[in-house]
A = this chain, B = another copy of it.
Amino acid sequence: MRELLEEKYGHFFEEKLIEEINFHGIFKKVPKDFPMINIGDTLTHIPLVIEGAIKVMGDDGNDNEYLLYYLETGDSCSMSMTCCIGNRKSQIKALAELDTKIIMIPVQKMEEWLVKYRTWRTFVFDSYDIRLKEMLSAIDALVFHNTEERIYQYLRDKAMVLHTPELSITHYQIANDLNTSRVVVSRLMKKLSLDGKIETNRNQVKVLDFTK
């Protein structure tokens, strides 16, 4: 736990804080594809990812989704923090992208530690920083990149999160995550394939080039 955080955030965490996290946090295992948060949910705990990955998506209220970002080991969900503290409802959906282990931290503790531990404050603000950057980068992709580039970036991101260049995924799933259509994805994947950037088979995509 401690090593995990210290590696991710590059600074030490007080022993007492780690003890409190272990004591007050609720350890949970979440199986792949389990829906963890839905739009409109009221949250009382903040998730901290120990192992695995969580996929966070926006939704327009009509079953149209869009992948925002992933939470990986050591990540926390800033959306949840503000939701919890402000007692507001979730604006996003989250589901496990892999079998995932998390610690759920009660919102009261989260606030208490903000006052008691300097390194917790740093952690919280780092989390916000990471999240705002992810959102900015999502906007950047939408505004400045075409669908082909977005598909390619999507595949590379996914390969990084899953720690393997070989992805078990269908064109339909990609289309859904990027809010476009399966036919468009197939068309552009063919281009990527001809350009030697990926290799495809039924239910399978291999990312060949990570050099951006």
The reply to whether A139 and B82 form a contact with Cβ atoms under 8 Å apart is: no
The reply to whether B139 and A85 form a contact with Cβ atoms under 8 Å apart is: no
Please name all residues of chain B whose beta carbon is closer than 8 Å to the beta carbon of A139 when the two chains form the complex. Answer: 58, 66, 68, 135, 138-139, 142
The reply to whether B143 and A91 form a contact with Cβ atoms under 8 Å apart is: no
Please name all residues of chain B whose beta carbon is closer than 8 Å to the beta carbon of A92 when the two chains form the complex. Answer: 136
Q: How many residues of chain A are within 8 Å of chain B by beta carbon?
A: 36
Please name all residues of chain B whose beta carbon is closer than 8 Å to the beta carbon of A23 when the two chains form the complex. Answer: none
Q: A91 and B136 in contact (CB under 8 A), knowing A85-B122, A125-B82, A126-B86?
A: yes
A179 at the interface (CB under 8 A from B): yes
Q: Closest B-chain residue to A145, C-beta based?
A: B60
Q: How far is the CA of A60 from the CA of B122 in the complex (A)?
A: 28
A206 at the interface (CB under 8 A from B): no
